[in-house]
Structure 1
């Protein structure tokens, strides 16, 4: 709390400094112009008096600011700083020590899924096991079923889930563009409407990786994520009791983003988009890593 208060006070002082520097720069410009037009020695103190303020306000402000920002007047409680640093390190060690436990608990919610080829865009190749999707530049001659995506490169799981907790891990190794998340079965499948994209409508939630940047999407609202590393496995945890969809980096269980939905109004399907070729650098498939799972309720 002391640190935040000190930082806040410094921010105010920095703003005052910047404002004062701008005023001084303007004064220097006027002084230079005055020197160019007269050989007489300028009256510096009178120069710093603005036409509308014939007093020493600027000089007083300078002195006041210098006195306030004098380093010798700033004191730090080193003992408390050491305590805070020690507490922070201990908390970090505690969190790291809990990672195996968190991973074991999270994976206990693993639910097996397989992708539904009848929902896949014609430029997606779905494996025979239904556990991977690969982009192809060739438009496959497939039946134009009502549930098939015809514009966005999406595919969703064959079965949905109605309650409980469910966890999936998706391997995105070597990919430069992908989207993954969960969706209601009512997500639009046809046409160029943005709602067909994962996370762009109210029916789906997703995390997108594109050009080295991660973005979480829902309802067309983007949330830029502060990560730059190309993660290999992404975890998706869906909790009906908590009404949340959480995205994780699966190796260290690092949270990427959590959507607090509250109450889901329909069953949820896992949804994937392996992305287009992205300048020839995105040919690898997106793969569901099915783990041993408990019995789960499907819809």
Structure 2
């Protein structure tokens, strides 16, 4: 059976269109693969450059340490050598005195049989004075305090090395200044807060209360989970926040799409339990990272006081850090974000007063610019 010419022409056009679309997608795939390779190569070059700089810093410090210690060792050797010389003079005089004592002992033993043997010590008072003078002269010339290290120089070296240490500490971790440059001011949206959360007037803290507050049941309010999210959402750039969790035994914090479920007991209402949010949870002394309902136990036991949250839209990255030293706790490679992100917090129940402290956002002095 022959296909009608019109239908055949239509199918051929559709076939050609599909081929063009396939070619366009293949071309984009090729571009994406090239971009992936380019990013990997750039990252490798940057990493190697940073490693070399750190190695150069180590080399400079090691060489400076070697030179400094060599100068101190030269002074030590000179001082020890000088004291060796002084001790040798004292030993020589002691030997001379012991020889005189030995001769005197022999002379005393022979006084009864050989009176002339005492002629060697005819003038004992004079000899005593001479010996005393020699001893006094030696003691004056071999005063231990006359040999010293250059303590002023040593103190100056210590002062300079301490200043260098303070300078290095003020510049490290070097990533801290960079990450803090992404700081964004946010405030919590009281319209999203669970009725048992008290949101501060400034919107920078959430505190659990055992009293159910009579609040308007707006669509965006969490009614089961003790969550609250930020008023501001971000859809591009890089953004960083620090959250103070001092004194708390339970908390959850992270980022979420505005589409996170707010009502009912569904698991997705909890941070990190659905695909709309990413979080780190601290409970019973353990840290757990959550996304898509998948828990990942973290190898930390220390109770941290301040947690950093970094999200990067260009990289599709959500990273949680211990904020004081910028130690990474966990990173989610989230891919391309499909919506804007809000900071999300859960201060948890008070647990009979053991978790009564608020969870506090430490806002930066000024909003960040997108980098």
Give the structure-1-normalised TM-score: 0.66
Aligned counterpart, 2:270: 197
Aligned counterpart, 1:184: 257
Secondary structure in structure 2 of the residue aligned to 1:181: strand
Secondary structure in structure 2 of the residue aligned to 1:214: strand
Quote how far apart the aligned CAs of 1:278 are.
1.8
**Where is the strand percentage greater, Structure 1 or Structure 2?**
1
**Where is the helix percentage greater, Structure 1 or Structure 2?**
2
C-alpha separation between the residues in 2 aligned to 1:149 and 1:270? 15
C-alpha separation between the residues in 2 aligned to 1:122 and 1:294? 29
Please tell me whether residue 253 in structure 1 is matched to residue 330 in structure 2: no
Aligned counterpart, 1:140: 213
Matched-pair contact (CA < 8 Å) for 2:271–2:279: yes
Please tell me whether residue 221 in structure 1 is matched to residue 221 in structure 2: no
C-alpha separation between the residues in 2 aligned to 1:118 and 1:170? 20
Quote how far apart the aligned CAs of 1:99 are.
3.5
C-alpha separation between the residues in 1 aligned to 2:369 and 2:215? 31
2:232 to 138, 159, 178: 159
Superposed counterparts of 1:4-153, under 5 Å: 99-153=172-226
Secondary structure in structure 1 of the residue aligned to 2:173: helix
1:292 to 351, 358, 365: 365
C-alpha separation between the residues in 1 aligned to 2:272 and 2:359? 18
Please tell me whether residue 242 in structure 1 is matched to residue 293 in structure 2: no
Quote how far apart the aligned CAs of 1:294 are.
4.0
**Aligned length, in residue pairs:** 205
Give the structure-2-normalised TM-score: 0.54
C-alpha separation between the residues in 1 aligned to 2:172 and 2:189? 33
Distance 1:133 1:294, change over 3 A: closer
Quote how far apart the aligned CAs of 1:277 are.
1.0
Secondary structure in structure 2 of the residue aligned to 1:223: strand
Q: Specify the structure having the higher radius of gyration (Cα).
A: 2
Distance 1:196 1:296, change over 3 A: farther
Which is bigger in relative contact order (C-alpha 8 A, separation at least 6)? 1
C-alpha separation between the residues in 1 aligned to 2:230 and 2:271? 14
| CA root-mean-square deviation | 1.7
Matched-pair contact (CA < 8 Å) for 2:280–2:320: yes
Structure 1 unmatched runs, 5+: 1-86
1:172 to 245, 263, 267: 245
* Residues 104-138 of structure 1, C-alpha deviations (whole Å, 9 max, x = no match): 00000000000000000000000000000000000
